[in-house]
Structure 1
Amino acid sequence: MPTSTFIQIGAQVDGLHHWPGAAAPEEYLGTPHRHLFVVTVELQVFHDDREIEINAAARWLTALLPTLADTPPTGDGPIDYGPQSCERLAARVAEALKQRHGANRDITVTVLEDGLLGAGLTWKPVPETSL
């Protein structure tokens, strides 16, 4: 018997970001630079018959990513995430998932730059204790 069942969804977005505090030898990261941000989500479900439908969840994630920009997207260019790190973007995606599906489920979010380097987080709800 599995200890946790989950769905996995992904999306990608063409975006810019920068790190204002970048020091040598990575000071080049201080100016805006482009990445294809690849976002993967594992979201716990409580039964094995489409509690959360993966196609609808993937469309929601794809629509969410531009709303996390520092500057509202205009035109067809890359989305500007400003100084947000992969860690920060992952945290914002996790918060949106908790608001949409509740904070009572395990959530793992990974954000990769160009599918190679990045970061993520895992949210584990605190079990309720009986008094």
Structure 2
Amino acid sequence: MALTRHIHVTAQVEGVHRWPDAGPPDAYLTSPHRHLFVASVEISVQHGDRELEINAVARWLTTILASFADPPDTPGGPLNFGAQSCEHLAERLVAAITDRYGTDRRVRCTVAEDGVLGGGVQWDPDPAEVGR
């Protein structure tokens, strides 16, 4: 069995979102509602000596997650993620991560509402690219 390494980073931002197509019994989700959106990310690394420094990645991840939202409706209020779901946000984060750190790494991302319920995606690199 081969040893694989990864870093684990989380980031959270306050925001609102809505599900315009929600039907009964979840029709209340059509209105904007607030959450702490918590992104949890694992990124593969080649060695265990800070190939990707977790604090720097965490700061960058928080900035990127917040950039997917519109500004708050009121000054100082929560960001507005519109109709984006947790899965949408996770897909966008994985795209940003692979753009920044390369497509030769395995990336797993989950975005959870209030750290509890959410969705996610995983990027698996082409085996021919791993370690290039």
Question: Under a length normalisation based on structure 2, what TM-score does the superposition of the two structures give?
Answer: 0.91
Aligned to 2:71: 72
1: distance between equivalents of 2:79 and 2:56?
23
SS in 2 for 1:34: strand
Q: Would you say 1:11 and 2:24 are equivalent positions? A: no
- Please give the alpha-carbon distance, in whole angstroms, between the structure 2 residues aligned to 1:27 and 1:4: 44
- Stretches of structure 1 that go unaligned for 5 or more consecutive residues are none
Describe the shift of the 1:75–1:2 C-alpha distance in structure 2 as closer, same or farther (beyond 3 A).
farther
Paired position in structure 2 for 1:37: 37
The 3-state SS of whatever aligns with 1:93 is: helix
Could you tell me how far 1:10 is from its partner in structure 2?
A: 0.5
CA distance in 2: counterparts of 1:3 and 1:88, whole angstroms = 31
Is 1:28 paired with 2:28? yes
Q: 3-state DSSP class of the match of 1:110? A: strand
Within 5 A, what are the aligned runs for 1:1-131? 2-69=2-69, 71-73=70-72, 75-128=75-128
Q: After superposition, what is the alpha-carbon deviation per residue over 1:8-28, rounded to whole angstroms, capped at 9, x for unaligned? A: 000111000000100100010
CA 28–124 in structure 1, closer or farther in 2 if over 3 Å, else same: same
Q: Distance in 1 between matches of 2:87 and 2:35?
A: 15
1:72 counterpart letter in structure 2 = P
1:2 deviates by: 4.4
**TM-score, scaled relative to structure 1:** 0.92
For residues 20 and 10 of structure 2, the distance between their equivalents in structure 1, rounded to whole angstroms, comes to 28
The total of aligned residue pairs comes to: 128
The offset of 1:63, in angstroms, is: 1.2
| 2: CA distance, partners of 1:59 / 1:102 | 18
* Matched AA of 1:87: E
Q: Hey, what's the Cα distance between the residues in 2 that align with 1:66 and 1:115? A: 16
1:51 is paired with a residue of what secondary structure?
A: coil
Change (3 A) 1:18 1:119: same
